[in-house]
Amino acid sequence: MRPGSGTVLVLALLAGLAAAGLARAQDAAPQACEVPSYLLSTESTLPKVAEAVKNARPLTVLVVGSRSSTILSSENSAYPARLQAALKEKLPSTPINLSVELHTGKTAEEVDAGLVKLVEAKRPTLVIWQTGTVDAMRSVDPDDFRGAVDEGVAALQNAGADVVLVNLQYSPRTETMISAPPYLDNMRVVAQQHNVPLFDRFAIMRHWNDAGDFDLFSTFHGTDMAKRVHACLGRALSKFVLDAARLDQAQQN
């Protein structure tokens, strides 16, 4: 299904938010962008990540993302790179290999087709799959979206990888233009069914906006803002991954 004019407008807004800076921020205090513990807790585990760390094997991470996984001309500041840096800091004795596969403008169903080949080529310990934004912008049937995510997660697990799902980014400027809740709910259902952790990026970014850490409604864009948001996401995601792996402090730095 080709996006209509409304979808194109939302794409432009979200691309600007993600690639050009997301929004203007107030000066952040040192404790800014902290995440409440309830937003980083999960009952699901990452046994393959734990096994790799405990046995001193390299931890290979594959991020399957979209435009909001990157910052144009500043890849080292995007959240996957910040995630890798944070993991290296916490796991100094574990080699951390991270790669990113971008699927810009693709729905979950469109990404599904290449997931198994990606895992076969990269042999990741952990796949972090960020999805839902394009489906929401195109108004893909929520049941079809759930089915696509379900098939994708099952394929990744059958291929031997741990999986973390990452949902949509939050933007108060697009709340009236796209309906996020059906896609957020369906990702939560799939995560529960497959017992995989769900990193609730949407709720975390909304918390930062409401707390005043970032003004995500502003129309002023800047790469400094994007770098700060991505740095916060990378740190939060690293903590989420390590906690889900149930690694004790003795196994971390």
In tens, the pLDDT along 115-143 reads 999 999 999 999 999 999 999 999 999 99
DSSP assigned state of 68: G
Is residue 30 pLDDT above 70, yes or no? no
Is residue 248 pLDDT above 80, yes or no? no
Spatial distance between the Cα atoms of 158 and 190, rounded to a whole number of angstroms: 15
In tens, the pLDDT along 46-102 reads 999 999 999 999 999 999 998 778 766 677 888 999 999 999 999 999 999 999 999
Spatial distance between the Cα atoms of 71 and 23, rounded to a whole number of angstroms: 13
Which token pair is 171? 């933007």
3-state secondary structure of 212: coil
Is residue 19 pLDDT above 70, yes or no? no
Q: What is the pLDDT of residue 14?
A: 53
Which token pair is 208? 């930062």
The more confident residue out of 24 and 3 is 3
Spatial distance between the Cα atoms of 42 and 245, rounded to a whole number of angstroms: 10
User: What integer is the mean pLDDT of 209-237?
Assistant: 79
Is residue 229 pLDDT above 90, yes or no? no
Q: In the sheet where 198-199 sits, what is the strand order?
A: 96-102, 59-65, 126-130, 162-166, 198-199
Superfamily per CATH, domain 45-251:
SGNH hydrolase (3.40.50.1110)
Q: Per-domain residue ranges for the chain?
A: 45-251
Q: What's the pTM value of the predicted model, to 2 decimals?
A: 0.85
Token look-up 């990026």 returns 201
Spatial distance between the Cα atoms of 156 and 159, rounded to a whole number of angstroms: 5
Dihedral angle computed from the Cα positions of residues 128, 197, 11 and 99, in that order, rounded to the nearest 10 degrees = -10
Q: What is the pLDDT of residue 176?
A: 75
Which of 251, 238, 11, 18 is CA-nearest to residue 128? 238
